[in-house]
Amino acid sequence: MPSYTPPLRDMQFLMHEVFKVTDEFKAIPKYAEADVDTINAVLEEGGKFASEVLLPLNISGDQEGCKLDPVTHAVTTPKGFKAAYDKYVEGGWPALSCDPDFGGQGLPLVVNQCFYEMLNSTNQAWTMYPGLTHGAHAALHTHGTDEQKQTYLHKMTSGEWTGTMCLTEPHCGTDLGLMRTKAEALPDGTYKITGNKIFISAGEHDMSGNIIHLVLARLTDAPPGIKGVSLFIVPKFLVNKDGSLGARNGIYCGGLEHKMGIHGNSTAQIVLDGAIGTMVGQPNKGMQGMFVMMNAARLGVGNQSLGLTEVAYQNALAYAKDRIQMRSLSGPKATDKPADPIIVHPDVRKMLLTAKAYAEGGRALAIYCSVLLDKEHSHPDEKVRKDSGEMLSLLTPIVKAFLTDNGHISTNACLQVFGGHGFIKEWGMEQFVRDNRINMIYEGTNTIQSLDLLGRKVLGNNGATLKKFGKLVAALVEEEGVNEKMAEFVNPIAYLGDQMTKLTTELGFKGFQNADEVGAAAVDYLRVAGHLVFGYFWARMAQVALREIAAGNDEPFYQAKLQTARFYFAKLFPETATLMRTARTGSSVLMETDLALA
């Protein structure tokens, strides 16, 4: 069975030394009392829950999967999953960063972010059950009526009830304007909803007393397309006026998807057969509420791959230190053994360092974004809220696509370190590869994230927000421009920042003449942008490490951080040159290929 050690030291380094989150929170009244010791203590306990309660259930849950009773439509989760959820609720974990007005503990979102990384490392399939509830909670908190909030949020905060998002239908995925699920107004102000949804993660299960589905559907007089979509609360059990559970609603699981990975999560085909729902927000404005969920989910999906990258790296590293095979090309290293540990071989080190660099860079980006989210929602200064929201909007598709693509690269590399043993189930490595694969697909495929980044977030405002990120890069370059020890970290990002500006301008002109030019370049463009963002954060991490070393701090952690930074800039960052070249090749080699694709 795989092992796992919570990466608390690296989380603490990023929160307290690089980003100084408690200083940021002093400007936010509701977080002003958050201190280093409290954050560290909570995450230490969270790490214990993840490693001691969830990790032992990961392989068994994958092997057992979920079971559907075709008569009652009830779904049973793998052995131990419900007991683990009960412990999760007893420990108060669902309420960690929720609003105290609804029973939450009110801790900064960055705490929940780091906690969920550890949950994802140890059991992604299990973590999706409570994880989806956060998005539904956020949508209701933002767009729900006072009555809806009072009815649902307290029990979602406590974990007594869970939530889902019901978007996809058999004939349409991301193109939600094509959906057919219908909502008919009833005299009492509720709606009768009929239709079919597929790919609904945690759509039916035995973990909680009620499941609060947020469902997209069309009113009978709705205009066509995406402008005719409304959002509804459709609970598994109707809720009485006093908050108790009423009759079983007409929403049930018609089947479970048979999947490549995340077997422990019940990905459900949901049937709505005259289910009773209440509208969230305004008629035909459902996407406003759903985007709250979707954006939260996109950040969450990036966090899933971050967790899998970390746990895959840890296990591959341990294996590489133990497994002996051949001799080092530069001469024997373990002279007391018949062969050397495979960690002496350059390419094994490259695979390990790739996963390590992507995990630590991804963690920096994820933590930075969670602080932006806190500032967007809660900072007293309107300009700070606006600027934070704009930056988060730019970075969200990068979190979703770049981290999940990197997770695919990293989990495959770590499986490769194991050789043939990586392909065998008992080691757990092939499960990490399978579980991660869905992360590149759902909540908007990574191609859609790329189109969102280039077409909407960059070209849509003439690069204004990208320029704001460029100013962060420029400020760091100016600050460290005369520091020779920082040259290897700041020079590459300074150069890439300049090249990104030129590339963006070129693609903007091409796209104005032919929109397919944007589609042809978007995936490469996002990956270049991802490296610019990672490069900036790696430079900041190197900056802190160099300062600590200069001050006499001999903790090996800082030297290790520098070594990983050097690897990243030498072996991974240069991918940008090829990507920019392919981004410039245009759309004709893709679109003028009817004979090739006949």
Helix segments in 330-463, DSSP class H: 346-378, 382-417, 429-437, 446-451
Give the residue ranges of the chain where pLDDT is below 70.
Answer: none
Residues 68 and 176 in one domain: no
Residues 131 and 39 in one domain: yes
Return the pLDDT at 60. 98
379 falls within a domain: no
Residues 174 and 92 in one domain: no
Return the pLDDT at 295. 84
R_g (Cα) of the chain, nearest Å: 24
- Exposed/middle/buried for residue 523 (C-beta within 10 Å: 0-12, 13-18, 19+): buried
Residues 122 and 173 in one domain: no
433 falls within a domain: no
Return the pLDDT at 136. 93
**C-alpha to C-alpha distance for 483 and 554, rounded to whole angstroms:** 21
215 closest CA partner among 269, 280, 160, 153: 280
Compute how many other C-beta atoms are within 10 angstroms of the C-beta atom of residue 532: 22
Tens of pLDDT, residue by residue over 327-383, are 999 999 999 999 999 999 999 999 999 999 999 999 999 999 999 999 999 999 999
Active site residue 443: yes
β 268-280/191-200 pair status: antiparallel
196 falls within a domain: yes
**C-alpha to C-alpha distance for 139 and 213, rounded to whole angstroms:** 12
Where a domain ends, among 242, 260, 286? 286
Token pair of 413 as six digits: 């590399």
Residues 133 and 172 in one domain: no
Amino acid at 504: T
Residues 176 and 136 in one domain: no
**C-alpha to C-alpha distance for 5 and 50, rounded to whole angstroms:** 10
Residues 111 and 169 in one domain: no
131 closest CA partner among 216, 78, 48, 54: 54
Where a domain ends, among 143, 175, 204? 143
Residues 182 and 213 in one domain: yes
Amino acid at 296: A
| Phi, psi torsion values for 290, nearest 5 degrees | -70, -30
Return the pLDDT at 303. 98
CATH of the domain at 282: 2.40.110.20
360 falls within a domain: no
Q: Is the dihedral of CA 183, 184, 190, 194 positive or negative?
A: negative
Return the pLDDT at 289. 82
Residues 514 and 556 in one domain: yes
Q: Which of 117, 204, 443, 517 is catalytic?
A: 443
| Phi, psi torsion values for 306, nearest 5 degrees | -60, -45
Inter-residue contact 357 to 568 (CB < 8 Å): yes
427 falls within a domain: no
462 closest CA partner among 409, 414, 505: 505
58 falls within a domain: yes
Helix segments in 276-378, DSSP class H: 286-322, 346-378
- Exposed/middle/buried for residue 254 (C-beta within 10 Å: 0-12, 13-18, 19+): middle
Phi-psi region for residue 169, left (φ > 0), alpha (ψ -120 to 50) or beta?
beta
Residues 100 and 57 in one domain: yes
Total of domains in the chain? 3
Residues 236 and 130 in one domain: no
20 falls within a domain: yes
CATH of the domain at 94: 1.10.540.10
Where a domain ends, among 229, 263, 286? 286
**C-alpha to C-alpha distance for 249 and 240, rounded to whole angstroms:** 12
Q: Which domain holds residue 480?
A: 458-591
225 falls within a domain: yes
Residues 97 and 172 in one domain: no
Tens of pLDDT, residue by residue over 312-342, are 999 999 999 999 999 999 999 999 999 999 9
Query: The pTM is what?
Result: 0.98
Amino acid at 307: G
**C-alpha to C-alpha distance for 192 and 194, rounded to whole angstroms:** 7
